Amino acid sequence: MGTEEKSDSDKAKEAEEKHERARATMEELEKNPPDKLEDWPDDEAKYETFGGSEAGESTYDEHHEEVLGAHSVRHHDDGSVEVKGEKVDNPDEYKGDPIPGGPTDPDAPDMPGEEPEKDD
Interior angle at CA 46, CA 21 and CA 63, nearest 5: 95
What is the model's pLDDT at position 3? Answer: 45
**Average pLDDT of span 66-83:** 79
Q: Rounded mean pLDDT of 41-50? A: 79
pLDDT at 2: 42
Q: Nearest 5 degrees, angle CA 101-CA 107-CA 108?
A: 35
Which tens digits make up the pLDDT trace of 91-103?
888 888 888 888 7
Res. 5: pLDDT tops 80 = no
pLDDT band at 70 (very low <50, low <70, confident <90, very high): low
Run of H or E including 86? strand 86-87
Alpha-carbon gap, residue 6 to 8, rounded angstroms:
7
pLDDT band at residue 89 under the 50/70/90 scheme = very high
Distance CA 105, CA 97 (A): 8
